[in-house]
Amino acid sequence: MTNVVLASGNAGKLRELNLALNPLGFSLVSQTELGLPSPDETGLSFVENALIKAREASRASGLSAIADDSGLCVDCLNGAPGIYSARFGDGTDSGNLQALLQTLEQGAYPSPWRAHYHCTLVFVRTADDPDPLIAQGRWRGHIINSPQGEGGFGYDPIFYLPDLNCTAAELDRETKNRLSHRGIAAQHLSSLLQDL
């Protein structure tokens, strides 16, 4: 197994990405486990922020790195919360979710509130890798105003999937990993990594 640092301390992301990449011989260790700090995300896009995180994790650890920058983009909010999804409210899952619902309800935006999850995954061999691997995924749905389900994390309890008649938080882990924005991006990254 090849050790790769995941430039995140998010246990949900670590679990989902390990499932996708273990069959290729990659073992992910989180930056938290290595005691690495999180860099400031000063980019203006998911790609820029993922590159910042991957390069810093690789520099600090001496390992190859994978970074994920992902978030929820709501159409009527011009893509917000977007790159600020993890800190849209008070920085907790429930606080961010409530802040989004308040923004939508106070703005009197007509529902359904169309949205998509976006994920950018970046793999760098070294901190100065001039040719990083970049994989992206999108998962369309819409926002509902009453949370449903106990699974997942983040905005999953209000991210409704009309085709499945449930929220992302109501899906079993295997189904979510296959259909989600991160699952799509991880499949794409897996195919890129096979060509290394």
Which token pair is 147? 């949370």
pLDDT in tens, 36-94: 999 999 999 999 999 999 999 999 999 999 999 999 999 999 999 999 999 999 999 99
Catalytic annotation present for 69: yes
Using CA atoms, how far residue 167 sits from 91, 121, 185, in Å, is 21, 23, 20
**Which residue has 């590159």 as its token pair?**
51
Query: Of residues 40, 69, 131, 156, which has the active-site annotation?
Result: 69
Residue 172's domain spans which residues?
2-194
How many structural domains comprise the chain?
1
Give the CATH number of the domain where residue 13 resides. 3.90.950.10
pLDDT digits (tens, 9 = 90+) for 136-194: 999 999 999 999 999 888 999 999 999 999 999 999 988 988 899 999 999 999 999 98
Say what the pTM is.
0.92
